[in-house]
Structure 1
């Protein structure tokens, strides 16, 4: 696969992301919930840095720097997820259970899924990967209208899953 998939097909490859300072290594994922930032464009932006109460995300100066994560400080709290205007951050937890992983991602569509719903999970190019079960939805005032949906799914799809398919309105 091309080294520059973001530029050629609109979605970064896993290889591109693994070369980013904000993408966890396998051993980081084994420690528990952790933020994943799929931001590989140098644009003036730093809400992820200012929202992180642990100081784990660093953009610095200039403000066009790509974010970096100190994985020793990141606790997977998710404050950065709703703060990111590009919806480029999610939380993954490989340690959720023996058979399942958990992902928490931004969701800005109506209708919202409900706890217990079975949803279709997708990869970076929107391709269907597997189904999962919604285990939580956070939509507090601090999130500024960006809901955070948490879904559990089979661990074998850990690397591929990044979000869910939009729920169709029932007519």
Structure 2
């Protein structure tokens, strides 16, 4: 299905999803990279060595969820924008998801952003908790959204310019 639509199947997603026990420990990186291509910036960026691309550079990245602390450095280094940070410990009802974002205008903290699933379908309006700008050499920004916990593994983008004033 991925090769025809560009959208991973539920089975694909399960292969890269941490256990609920791991989610209960705090933020964790999820690499939704499913194509075997020569790429390893995420592995090179991880100071904890939680991401491996082995046995050769054409393999898909694998996150060692027991080592990953969800710092998010890998998120901004992925040229395919395929790494996300999910923190289901953010609150009793919400998860904090960190999304790579390379469009303008950027949302502002306190605004609501229109969250999209992997197919680009609207999932609702969610508070922008933080916007982390990219660096001078890497312009990828990080958008932090508070979403209901049941949508933590569904919301994967926001509609560019689709912002409203907060709650």
- The alignment's TM-score, normalised by the length of structure 2, stands at 0.91
Q: How does 1:18-33 map to 2 (within 5 A)?
A: 18-19=14-15, 22-33=16-27
Do residues 14 (structure 1) and 46 (structure 2) align?
Answer: no
Q: Secondary structure at the match of 1:102?
A: strand
Separation of aligned partners in 2, 1:105 and 1:76 = 12
User: Unpaired runs of 5+ in structure 1?
Assistant: none
Residue by residue over 1:120-163, the C-alpha shift from the partner in whole angstroms, topping out at 9 and shown as x without a partner, is 11111011112110011111427710001101122232231112
Aligned to 2:36: 42
Separation of aligned partners in 2, 1:168 and 1:154 = 19
Do residues 145 (structure 1) and 136 (structure 2) align?
Answer: no
Aligned to 1:72: 66
Aligned length: 163
User: Unpaired runs of 5+ in structure 2?
Assistant: none
Q: Secondary structure at the match of 2:161?
A: coil
Separation of aligned partners in 2, 1:16 and 1:160 = 13
How many Å apart are 1:82 and its aligned residue? 0.5
Bigger fraction of residues in strand? 2
Q: Which runs of 4+ in 1 moved over 3 A?
A: none
Q: 1:118 aligns with which of 112, 124, 135?
A: 112
What do you get for the CA RMSD once the two structures are aligned? 1.7
- The alignment's TM-score, normalised by the length of structure 1, stands at 0.89
